[in-house]
Structure 1
């Protein structure tokens, strides 16, 4: 799978979060519930200072098998005290661009990425959903690299 190395500035993400792990049998349900809260419970509309309408799925705070998952949006300033605020640190990222069914394309891409020999920093990996076409989604996946 092809990728390009990009340098990103810090990003602030506001949304809803939960802790899970890849070995948790409820991982998929946990992540789906976050997206449901974001879009079906009005969280997306309530987020202040959105820089755009691109949804972000952030994986951060890696501790052993556990990590924090956040579904939200990039903002210029965090002003929603009731929501999670996460920072995507500046640095180098491997950027993978995928297209297809929103869930299937992402799962397939991560399955390939996990097998790659990337010099990962585990400081914050994320997906940026560039449109809301569930069947024909354009998604960029960013994997944090060591500098």
Structure 2
């Protein structure tokens, strides 16, 4: 599986989140439910100060490694300089930072209608790699809204080269 090592700057994201793990029987429903709420309940539209139109699936607050609990957040990058939180109807929107640093970037192009299966397959392959992961922050970034040729980048946080 091909990837490239890149350096990213820190960014702030805002959205909705839940806790799960890769072995939970309801993991797919948990993650799919967040994406559904994100688009169907107007979360995406209500987030203010987006830096771009890209949707992000953020994996953070890992309790350990690939087999442990983590927080999944469906979000957009926001401009912190603009201030204020979108908040949602009852303040349920949250903000988190994607730390700057080294990431392995995997790119896939897939049909948006079946993207969840394509993205899940790439994650399964990533779990088998020996990348020096930090288990601090990983994320998917949906680059466009082309239904037949959606481009998705998956970023895996890597330990610094000194470690």
TM range (shorter): over 0.9
Unpaired segments ≥5 residues, structure 2: none
Shift in Å, 1:54:
0.5
Any residues of structure 2 matched to 1:115-134 within 5 Å, and which? 115-134=128-147
Query: What is the deviation of 1:34?
Result: 0.4
Could you tell me how far 1:136 is from its partner in structure 2?
Answer: 2.5
SS at match of 2:37: helix
Aligned-residue RMSD, C-alpha: 1.1
| Corresponding residue number in structure 1 for 2:110 | 100
Aligned residue in 2 for 1:16: 16
1:142 aligns with 2:152: no
Aligned mates of 1:19, 1:133 — CA distance in 2: 29
Which stretches of structure 1, 4 residues or longer, exceed 6 Å deviation after superposition?
none
Measured after TM superposition, the shift of residue 134 of structure 1 is: 4.1
Count of paired positions: 147
Corresponding residue for residue 67 of structure 1: 70
More strand by share: 1
- Work out which of the two has the higher radius of gyration on C-alpha atoms and give 1 or 2: 2
Partner of residue 52, structure 1: 52
- Cα distance, 1:80 vs structure 2: 2.1
Correspondences of 1:109-120 after superposition (within 5 Å): 109-120=122-133
Following the alignment from structure 1 to structure 2, what is the Cα–Cα distance between the partners of residues 24 and 136? 30
Deviations 1:112-142 (A, max 9, x none): 1111110000110000001123442100000
| Residues 35-64 of structure 1, C-alpha deviations (whole Å, 9 max, x = no match) | 011100001000010011100000000014
